[in-house]
Amino acid sequence: TKKRIAVCKTVQSFSEGKHYFEFRIIRLPGSNPKVRKTGAQTKKPKKQISVGVVPKGFNVSGSKKSAGSQGGWAYTNIGTKVHDDKSSSYASPFKEGDVVGLELDLDSKSIHFFKNDVSQGIAFTDVEGHGTYHPVISLHTEKCKVQLNGVIKKPKTKMPENWPWFN
């Protein structure tokens, strides 16, 4: 069977400066971030939601339309970051009820994610070459629901304790 992904790319775009917006995770079935044991098998949580930014030319109806594809940058519910379909470990997973913040800094060419106002660290430092960027949400399974809170003033954030990259 073919995997279906629902994608929402905003009309609003950014081409310079620093911007902050949030994604509220309304519904994420089975969003326990820990590995679940089912009988003799151990199942890892599946990627169900990706939030991030994509370049102007991102095609929402293409075959590769997840937030971290086609030159896009994303943070997933399983704690990975994705760029150009390449995934790597990044931060703690997010779950139903969490608010994921994204700071797009086009002056320093970086993307910084937050979870419930706690910094998850700078995820990407290579945001350049596309000119214009749009917030995006990818839903990889049915029954997920995410709300984009829009561009807002960045709230006062907390830095995680004992994280070496903050020293």
Cα–Cα distance measured from residue 16 to residue 120, given in angstroms and rounded to the nearest whole number: 23
Tokens of 22: 């949030």
pLDDT of residue 4: 72
| 27: pLDDT strictly greater than 60 | yes
User: What global pTM score does this model have?
Assistant: 0.82
Tens digits of residue pLDDT in 143-161: 898 998 877 777 666 655 5
| 109: pLDDT strictly greater than 80 | yes
CA atoms within 13 A on the CB side of 127: 32
Residue 28: count of CB within 10 angstroms of its CB: 23
Tens digits of residue pLDDT in 32-83: 545 455 555 556 678 899 999 999 989 888 667 788 889 999 999 999 999 9
Instruction: Enumerate residues 6+ apart whose C-beta is below 8 A from 137.
Output: 7, 8, 23, 49, 50, 51, 67, 146, 148
| 100: pLDDT strictly greater than 70 | yes
